[in-house]
């Protein structure tokens, strides 16, 4: 992994112009904190979700009637939406760094990172719409 | 098999292929980076003999964290879509949901549980290292604990998940 701020553009070198501008130190620090906070949140939300739908309830009994019953409660709607938002933020930040590590070409890197953001945005909208439709009835 | 069921199976295979592909990139990158050796019987032997060699384990914990995180994210992408079917039509949702109760999908869920547990427990370990400024030896003990707890909890969970199809 790259040291935060190491490629802030203060050092003039031949490749600097071709490289996409690295995130600033401050923004990197904020993402770092976000990954830790969402991670802590997800350790409760995801394990709780998995325990409920796979361990306490057999997965064969989690059909639409189970979902309807569970989403009858505002707590579970909030739980699921928070889990969706936290997981997408956490996962996007993680894969963002993985793309930086494994994509030397700046153009390909930008393409992949945009694709990642697009995928996360689509999933966020899809999941939010699904939950919003339940709330609005 | 209905159309949505077929689509789900194709998407699930795509998820699995993506995870295998990503894992290959990570492991190949590990070798190319020259940051250390692969997990070989010789390395494992050295690690058992000498605690100083166990720094290698930290590196492989990093790769395992990355691969398990990618795997969970890849499944999340599919899962948001299949739950999204609920908003479209309860009948379509139930058709895909039927697949979740089959033996292959239950096996997949066991793998998912392994991934989630390792990523969670190792993630909490990383948080503890950052917050409490733990020593290397303590961090490594926590890694062994996280790994052991992952195996124990995932095996127990797998028994519960697989019991209905084992009869």
Per domain, the residue ranges of chain A are: 24-136
A42–chain B Cβ distance below 8 A for any pair: yes
Q: How far apart are CA B29 and CA A84, in angstroms?
A: 30
According to the model, what pLDDT value does residue A13 have?
46
Cα first-last separation, chain A? 46
According to the model, what pLDDT value does residue A23 have?
66
According to the model, what pLDDT value does residue B83 have?
95
- Chain A hits for B120, CB-CB cut-off 8 Å, are 42-43, 46-47
| Beta-carbon contacts of residue A21 (< 8 Å; ≥ 6 apart) | A9
| B33-52 per-position pLDDT tens digit | 655 556 677 777 777 776 66
Residue B95 CB neighbours (<10 A)? 19
Q: Which domains does chain B have, with CATH numbers?
A: 3-166 (1.20.1300.10)
According to the model, what pLDDT value does residue A8 have?
42
Comparing A13-27, A86-100, A116-130, B105-119, which segment has the lowest mean pLDDT? A13-27
User: Is pLDDT of A10 > 90?
Assistant: no
Residues in chain B with pLDDT values less than 50: none
According to the model, what pLDDT value does residue B57 have?
81
User: Is pLDDT of A16 > 80?
Assistant: no
Q: Which residue of A has its CA nearest to B120?
A: A43
According to the model, what pLDDT value does residue A2 have?
41
ipTM: 0.89
The distance of A15 to chain B (nearest Cα, Å) reads: 20
Nearest residue to B75 (alpha-carbon basis) of B111, B28, B25? B111
User: Is pLDDT of A4 > 50?
Assistant: no
A103–chain B Cβ distance below 8 A for any pair: no
Asked if the Cβ–Cβ distance from A67 to B124 is below 8 Å, we say: no
Domain A24-136, CATH: 1.20.1300.10
User: Is pLDDT of A28 > 70?
Assistant: yes
Indicate the pLDDT class of residue A12, thresholds 50, 70 and 90. Answer: very low
The distance of B109 to chain A (nearest Cα, Å) reads: 8
- Chain B hits for A123, CB-CB cut-off 8 Å, are 76-77, 80-81
What does the mean pLDDT of chain A come to?
A: 86
Nearest residue to B81 (alpha-carbon basis) of A65, A124, A83, A96? A124
Tokens of A114: 């945009």
According to the model, what pLDDT value does residue B39 have?
66
A114–chain B Cβ distance below 8 A for any pair: no
According to the model, what pLDDT value does residue B133 have?
86
Burial degree of B119 (CB within 10 A; 0-12, 13-18, 19+): buried
| A43-96 per-position pLDDT tens digit | 999 999 999 999 999 998 999 999 999 999 999 999 999 999 999 999 999 999
Average pLDDT over residues A90-117: 95
Asked if the Cβ–Cβ distance from B101 to A59 is below 8 Å, we say: yes
**To which residue do tokens 């899962």 refer?**
B79
A115–chain B Cβ distance below 8 A for any pair: no
């Amino acid at each position: 992994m790259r040291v935060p701020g190491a490629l802030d553009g203060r050092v003039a070198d031949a490749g600097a112009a071709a490289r996409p501008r690295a995130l600033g130190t401050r923004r990197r620090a904020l993402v770092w904190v976000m990954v830790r906070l969402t991670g802590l949140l997800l350790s409760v939300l995801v394990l709780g979700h998995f325990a409920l739908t796979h361990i306490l309830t057999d997965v064969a009994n989690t059909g639409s009637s189970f979902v309807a019953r569970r989403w009858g409660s505002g707590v579970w709607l909030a739980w699921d939406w928070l889990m969706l938002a936290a997981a997408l933020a956490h996962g996007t930040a993680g894969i963002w760094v993985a793309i930086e590590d494994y994509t030397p070409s700046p153009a390909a890197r930008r393409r992949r990172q945009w694709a990642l953001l697009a995928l996360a945005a689509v999933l966020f909208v899809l999941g939010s719409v699904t939950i919003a439709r339940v709330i609005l009835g | 098999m209905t159309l949505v069921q077929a689509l789900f199976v194709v998407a699930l295979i795509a998820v699995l292929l993506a995870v295998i592909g990503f894992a290959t990139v990570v492991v190949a990158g590990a070798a190319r980076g020259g940051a250390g050796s692969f997990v070989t019987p010789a390395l494992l032997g050295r690690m058992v003999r000498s605690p100083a060699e166990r720094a290698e384990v930290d590196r492989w914990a990093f790769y395992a964290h990355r691969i398990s995180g990618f795997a969970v994210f890849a499944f999340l992408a599919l899962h948001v879509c299949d739950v999204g079917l609920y908003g479209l039509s309860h009948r379509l949702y139930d058709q895909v949901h039927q697949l979740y109760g089959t033996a292959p999908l239950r096996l997949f869920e066991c793998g998912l549980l392994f991934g989630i547990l390792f990523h969670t427990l190792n993630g909490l370990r990383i948080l503890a290292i950052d917050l409490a400024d733990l020593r290397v030896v303590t961090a490594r003990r926590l890694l062994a604990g996280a790994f052991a707890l992952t195996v124990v909890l995932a095996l127990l969970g797998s028994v519960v998940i697989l019991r209905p199809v084992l009869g």
